């Protein structure tokens, strides 16, 4: 069948001249798509969707637009072989379609109805999930003119969260998602290696050593100090708020390595062009990738937004060190000399508009730069000893000083006054060993709008709030569920904040899901049937949520959580008193258990008969709050198909010295490696410091081969970045690395269920996220019993269609690397 469909394609091409794939005799069913950018007789884009063993193809002369108002002509062309999805190259002149072609975008697609019937009808709706194009799209067939043999359609974007009537995606993201190249680079003749100017003589510097280009250099890190050095012999630089990155440049091509050793070249593809003109054959440049706001200040929030939305043109690389140049290792050279050579290397190739910038410095006393950084609202400054060599890891020859101390504090109460338009100040608290301690008040930094909206929210938190020990009498207590981001000078002897300034609420925000409206699983009758004794009892310690708060949380998220746990064996973490030491796990039936909680027995791998339970309906789920259930931990299989697991969990567990941003970097890397194997990964926070990457499968394997397959995949991923990952248990193996725990995929093993609370300070939740949302989360604990119900009510469940993306695990592990 596929051979017949490809007859026209093959007749038009001479495969002895063109590198285009002739195509296999038979295709396979899949759901990938590609958009090629093609310079042929006329410039255009080609949309190709994998369907029926071939790529259905349309030429789109003006290219796709994210603006639903734009209707773009799409001319249906001959079917292409599925192997064409990866084709990028130069089609020889004189051949059909002669000219350069790049993979402008690629990913997976899904029809909104039967695809063949919709195409025949001429009204074809589908969803795309690519690096540049996402959400709903439509192809509408035009009525043909007399004697017209072309099949003309209109391609346009549907109104959904992925639509954008301002962004020209063709201009913003012109590069290949496969190689990062522009189509103009593909058409140009090969470049000769750039010459080395006579004044760039790294070998003349004291401490330089001949050597091969390193694959990775672990970055040098600064030690925090309260004040910058006033001594001579120090260089002081602005501290940036971005992603620390090493740029490895070879003959004009740049590779970007993250602080934890991951290759993020593909993510920063547009930035690579700024390094192409540098007059060197090889270089390793240390720097920071940032996005600047309107005042020229680096903003991590803006960086996250640019990466998530594909606005790569906003990225800037600030270069502050040169570690290797043209065959010379410069780590043993004094910093001042390295920076001098770096400035020479960049001279003539950097201006105010360049995406590559030199990070300048001031010498001597750093106080003036520190004061300026404070005035401008910058992060602070980094001070470096001018004579020091480069030393990977934390050092004292590099120090950092924050312009102002910053911190996130619990809002424990407030005061009011008529002069301050109602809200006068906030009472701040800090968790210490599970107890909330008073840290003083903040009364500045609010605008009128914030005063009004914040007071309204705080008034709704007064019921059930306890007075905070040590707080003044005039403070009105509130339940401690909101967190404020505060700048302050220092602390008093009793730990109260001095000169505190309110900078905003620390809140998470999730992107609205494009999935179908949620199905109601919890009825009003179910809610009315909840009976909670001792509703005001604190679940953990003297502060924090009550038993009723936990019940209300699970009722609020039940419609989203239940599809992921109904019919699956679960272990429950119960807290029957206010003492954390009384909490315990329960996986078997218990006295007074709700009647719709199922109990069953099965033999474990050792041949022992064990009892387990599963949640079977909304009533049983809601009733568990009465029994002090805080956490749900689920199997990767349904009770009715107990020996056919259908969800793989890769638990990314950070070791000592690994921060949240590095775990996020690691999760993004894991996603890419899984997608290379043809799998569709989903992501959620663990409710702690880690991240769970979850893959739906077709449930064809038993537990033993399932566990082995997950181990093999984990080993493959770890091998791609051995300095970042380990698959070996043990604390010593995890230091400064991330443990990929695949043992949650063994029979009777569990993982925190999607939306399950965790019995920890602030009661965070194991929260499913869209991949674009993952990088926007600064602190996973912000997704908690208080904040999450409102977030998911607005955004929906990003895992709603997880079952539609199940893949065969056997096929994945046999895939070639």
Class of domain 215-402: alpha beta
Cβ atoms of 682 and 696 within 8 Å: the answer is yes
- Whole-model pTM: value is 0.63
pLDDT digits (tens, 9 = 90+) for 656-681: 888 898 999 999 999 989 998 889 99
**Residue in 173, 316, 337, 185 with CA at minimum distance from that of residue 251:** 185
- Residues 6+ positions from 146 with CB-CB distance below 8 Å: none
DSSP readout, 510-531? Answer: -PPP-SPPPPP-S-HHHHHT--
pLDDT averaged over every residue in the chain: 87
Looking at residue 598, its pLDDT comes to: 92
pLDDT band, very low/low/confident/very high, at 523 (cuts 50, 70, 90): confident
- Residues 6+ positions from 726 with CB-CB distance below 8 Å: 718, 733, 734, 737, 738, 739, 740
How far, in Å, CA of 586 to CA of 613, rounded? 9
End-to-end CA distance of the chain: 29
How far, in Å, CA of 652 to CA of 667, rounded? 7
Looking at residue 757, its pLDDT comes to: 96
pLDDT band, very low/low/confident/very high, at 193 (cuts 50, 70, 90): very low
Pick the CATH number of 524-640 from 1.10.8.60, 3.90.920.10, 3.40.309.10, 3.40.50.300: 3.90.920.10
Q: Is the pLDDT of residue 685 over 60?
A: yes
pLDDT band, very low/low/confident/very high, at 191 (cuts 50, 70, 90): very low
How far, in Å, CA of 206 to CA of 222, rounded? 24
- For 607, other C-beta atoms within 10 Å of its C-beta total 6
pLDDT digits (tens, 9 = 90+) for 25-36: 555 567 899 999
When comparing pLDDT for 738 and 403, which is higher?
A: 738
**Residue in 76, 106, 102 with CA at minimum distance from that of residue 8:** 76
How far, in Å, CA of 814 to CA of 709, rounded? 10
> HSE on the CB side for 757, CA within 13 Å?
33
Burial label, 170 (beta-carbon count in 10 A; 0-12, 13-18, 19+): middle
Looking at residue 367, its pLDDT comes to: 83
Q: Do 405-505 and 524-640 fold alike per CATH?
A: no
Looking at residue 734, its pLDDT comes to: 76
How far, in Å, CA of 11 to CA of 5, rounded? 11
* Domain boundaries of the chain, sorted by first residue: 2-187, 215-402, 405-505, 524-640, 647-813
pLDDT average, residue stretch 586-610: 85
Active site residue 239: yes
Looking at residue 365, its pLDDT comes to: 82
pLDDT average, residue stretch 156-164: 89
Q: From the candidates 37, 239, 384, 402, which is the catalytic residue?
A: 239
Query: What kind of fold does domain 405-505 have according to CATH?
Result: OB fold (Dihydrolipoamide Acetyltransferase, E2P) (2.40.50)
**Percent residues over pLDDT 70 in the chain:** 92
pLDDT average, residue stretch 557-581: 92
When comparing pLDDT for 535 and 527, which is higher?
A: 535
pLDDT band, very low/low/confident/very high, at 293 (cuts 50, 70, 90): confident
pLDDT digits (tens, 9 = 90+) for 18-62: 888 888 655 556 789 999 999 876 679 999 999 988 999 999 999
The C-alpha torsion from 277 through 283 and 286 to 288, rounded to 10°, is 30
Is residue 730 classed as helix, strand or coil in its secondary structure?
coil
Chain mean position to CA 351: 32
pLDDT average, residue stretch 541-560: 87
Burial label, 460 (beta-carbon count in 10 A; 0-12, 13-18, 19+): exposed
How far, in Å, CA of 272 to CA of 266, rounded? 9
Looking at residue 491, its pLDDT comes to: 86
CATH number of 647-813: 3.90.920.10
- For 715, other C-beta atoms within 10 Å of its C-beta total 13
């Amino acid at each position: 069948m596929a051979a017949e469909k490809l007859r026209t394609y093959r007749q038009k091409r001479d495969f002895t001249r063109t590198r285009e794939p002739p195509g296999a005799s038979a295709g396979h069913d899949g759901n990938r798509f590609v958009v090629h950018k093609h310079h042929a007789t006329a410039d255009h884009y080609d949309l190709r969707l994998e369907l029926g063993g071939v790529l259905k193809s349309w030429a789109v002369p003006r290219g796709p637009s994210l603006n639903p108002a734009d209707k773009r002509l799409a001319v249906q062309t001959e079917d292409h072989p599925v192997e064409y999805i990866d084709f990028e190259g130069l089609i020889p002149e004189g051949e059909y379609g002669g000219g350069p072609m790049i993979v402008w975008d690629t990913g997976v697609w899904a029809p909104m109805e039967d695809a063949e019937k919709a195409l025949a009808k001429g009204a074809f709706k589908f969803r795309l999930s690519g690096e540049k194009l996402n959400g709903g799209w439509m192809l509408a067939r035009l009525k043909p003119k007399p004697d017209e043999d072309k099949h003309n359609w209109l391609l346009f974007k549907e109104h959904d969260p992925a639509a954008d009537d301002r962004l020209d995606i063709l201009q913003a993201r012109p590069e290949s998602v496969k190689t990062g190249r522009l189509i103009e680079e593909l058409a140009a003749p090969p470049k000769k290696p750039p010459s080395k100017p006579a004044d760039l003589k790294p070998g003349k510097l004291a401490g330089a050593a001949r050597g091969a280009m390193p694959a990775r250099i672990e970055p040098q890190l600064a030690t925090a100090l309260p004040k910058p050095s006033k001594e001579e012999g120090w260089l002081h630089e602005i501290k940036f708020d971005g992603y620390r990155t090493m740029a490895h440049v070879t003959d004009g091509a740049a590779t970007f390595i993250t602080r934890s050793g991951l290759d993020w070249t593909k993510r920063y593809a547009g930035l690579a062009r700024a390094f192409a003109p540098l007059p060197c054959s090889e270089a390793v440049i240390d720097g920071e990738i940032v996005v600047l706001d309107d005042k020229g200040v680096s903003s991590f929030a803006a960086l996250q937004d640019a990466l998530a939305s594909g606005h790569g043109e906003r990225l800037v690389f600030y270069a502050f060190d040169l570690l290797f140049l043209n065959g010379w290792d410069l780590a043993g050279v004094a910093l001042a000399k390295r920076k001098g050579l770096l400035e020479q290397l960049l001279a003539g190739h950097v201006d105010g508009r360049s995406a590559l910038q030199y990070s300048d410095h001031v010498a001597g006393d750093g106080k003036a730069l520190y004061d300026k950084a404070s005035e401008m609202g910058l992060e602070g400054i980094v001070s470096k000893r001018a004579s020091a060599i480069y030393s990977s890891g934390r050092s004292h020859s590099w120090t950092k000083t924050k312009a102002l101390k910053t911190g996130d504090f619990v809002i424990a109460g407030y005061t009011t006054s008529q002069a301050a338009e109602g809200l006068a100040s906030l009472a701040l608290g800090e968790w210490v060993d599970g107890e909330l301690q008073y840290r003083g008040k903040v009364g500045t930094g609010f605008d009128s709008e914030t005063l009004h909206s914040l007071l309204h929210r705080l008034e709704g938190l007064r019921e059930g709030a306890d007075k905070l020990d040590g707080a003044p009498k005039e403070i009105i207590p509130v339940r401690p569920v909101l967190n404020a981001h505060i700048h302050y000078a220092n602390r008093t002897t009793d730990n109260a904040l001095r000169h505190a300034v309110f900078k905003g609420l620390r809140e998470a925000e999730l992107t609205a899901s494009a999935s179908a409206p949620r199905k109601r699983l919890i009825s009003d009758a179910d809610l009315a049937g909840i009976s909670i004794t001792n509703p005001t009892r604190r679940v953990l310690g003297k502060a924090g949520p009550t038993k009723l708060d936990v019940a209300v949380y699970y009722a609020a998220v039940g419609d989203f959580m239940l599809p992921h746990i109904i019919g699956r064996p679960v272990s429950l973490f119960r807290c029957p008193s206010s003492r954390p030491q009384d909490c315990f796990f329960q996986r078997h039936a218990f006295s007074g258990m709700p009647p719709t909680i199922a109990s069953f027995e099965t033999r474990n791998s050792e041949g022992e008969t064990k009892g387990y339970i599963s949640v079977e309906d909304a009533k049983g789920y809601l009733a568990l709050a009465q029994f002090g259930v805080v956490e749900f931990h689920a199997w990767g299989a349904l009770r009715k198909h107990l020996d056919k697991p259908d969800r793989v969990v890769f638990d990314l567990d950070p070791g000592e010295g690994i921060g949240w941003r590095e775990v996020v970097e690691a999760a993004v890397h894991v996603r890419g490696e899984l997608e290379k194997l043809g799998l569709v990964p989903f992501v959620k926070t663990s409710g702690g410091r880690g991240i769970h990457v979850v893959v739906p499968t077709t449930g064809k394997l038993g537990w033993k081969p399932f566990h082995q397959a997950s181990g093999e995949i984990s080993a493959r991923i770890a091998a791609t970045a051995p300095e970042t990952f380990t698959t070996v248990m043990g604390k010593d193996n995890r230091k400064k690395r991330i443990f990929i725990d695949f043992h949650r995929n063994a029979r009777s093993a569990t993982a925190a269920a999607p939306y399950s609370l965790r019995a920890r300070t602030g009661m965070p939740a194991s929260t499913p996220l869209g991949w674009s949302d993952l990088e926007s989360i600064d602190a996973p604990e912000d997704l908690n019993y208080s904040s999450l119900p409102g977030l998911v009510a607005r955004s929906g469940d990003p895992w709603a269609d997880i079952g539609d993306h199940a893949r065969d695990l056997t096929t994945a592990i046999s895939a070639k690397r």
